[in-house]
Each structure stands twice: as C-alpha cells, then as structure tokens.
Amino acid sequence: MPLDRILLVPRWSGKRDSDFYPWFSATITERGWRGELEFISLRPPSAPEITPTIAAIRGRLSTPALASRTLLIGHSVGAQAAMRTLADLPPGVEVAAFLAIAGWWSIDDPWPTIQPWIDTPFDWARARAAARRRIVLLSTDDPFTADSAQTGRLFADRLAAEVQMKEGAGHFNAPEEPSILPAVLDLLA
C-alpha cells in the first residue's frame, strides 16, 4: 500500500508556522511528494497533557488501512506523544513508519508540566510493534539531553530503532533542517 500520509506532531509550543515545519512542507512538495501532510497540535500546545494529546493523534490513525499508509513524525515532546500513541493503538493497527526528531526519554532540567511525560510509563514493545520502520534523529549538542549517546542506546534497545546522530543540530529548531530530509525520503520510499 502506498505511503501517502504524514502526521507531524510538533515540539512543546510548536505551531504550524514555527521551526522547520513550513520549510519541510514546501520541500517535500518540491521533491514531488503529493500525499497528505497533517499537523496535529498538542493538547494544549503550551502545556501538553498525555491523554488528550494521544487521543488527538489516535483519532487520525483510526483504521488499519489508514494507519498503514502513514508516516508518523514526532519532534521532541511530539516524539513522546507519537510513541505513546503507537503503544495505545489496538493490536493489528500499525503505521508504515515512525520518525522521532530530537526524541528523548528524559531531559536534563525538567519543569513541572513536562514531568508526567518523563515519569508515566508506556508499553515500549507495543510501540515498537505498531510501526513497521523506526528512525530516530538525535543531535550531538541537544540542549535538553546532553547524553545523546545514551538516548540513542535507549531508542535502539526499547524501540529497535535505527538511530542517526547529527552533528551540531541542536534541538532541530532551525527554520530549515536539511539533515532530516534523507530520513524522511527514506521512510517515504
């Protein structure tokens, strides 16, 4: 089945017109991709909560046929939300691919409203099983997670993800992030 949907879950307080999101939309269109790109806002964007955010994403993956055509991309806390949604999908429902950009399991200096995202467990095995392919992009100098090597090991161990380390990409917040494009195009192929 063709991969013709991208669901993009942003970072904390991310908006459709922030970070690399507008550039990404324009760039994949210029590259000839003609599928649907949907931006799913966190619930609420400035202090996202787990349950309503997962419900919003899960609603867009409601059938096995729909999910199987989907590349699910999560940026930062959006990656947490996406993983938790994958873990919450019913058996037999899986996305074609999952891409975590600046994903994390914990952050160095958490604030109170992000703590539930760190402390609340979820079923990693179910998340792994609910995505046929999994790639994680990490930066060597992410300001929120200093130990990128450890973060990468956790993604490899827990999700059996292919981890790609990017030199000096920070938290992937620039208006253009060309280093994400090869992974996206690989997953869309």
Per-residue model confidence (pLDDT) at position 62? 81
Asked if residue 74 lies in contact with residue 9, where contact means CB atoms within 8 angstroms, the answer is yes
Decide which of 3 and 163 is more confident: 163
CATH number at residue 116: 3.40.50.1820
Counting the structural domains of the chain, the total is 1
Give pLDDT tens digits for 38-66.
Answer: 999 999 999 999 999 999 999 999 889 99
Closest CA to 109 of 145, 61, 55: 145
Counting residues of the chain whose pLDDT is more than 90, the rounded percentage is 94
Per-residue pLDDT reduced to its tens digit, 88-142: 999 889 999 999 999 999 999 999 999 999 999 999 999 999 999 999 999 999 9
Instruction: With a cut of 60, say whether residue 162 has pLDDT above it.
Output: yes
Confidence at residue 24, expressed as pLDDT on a 0 to 100 scale: 98
User: How far is the C-alpha of 186 from the C-alpha of 18, rounded, in Å?
Assistant: 24
- Tell me: pLDDT of 1 over 60: no
Give 189's pLDDT tier (boundaries 50, 70, 90): confident
Alpha-carbon distance values, 155 to 77, 110, 124 (Å): 15, 20, 10
d(CA 32, CA 40): 23
d(CA 53, CA 50): 5
What is the extent of the structural domain holding 56?
A: 5-188
The pLDDT value given to residue 2 = 72
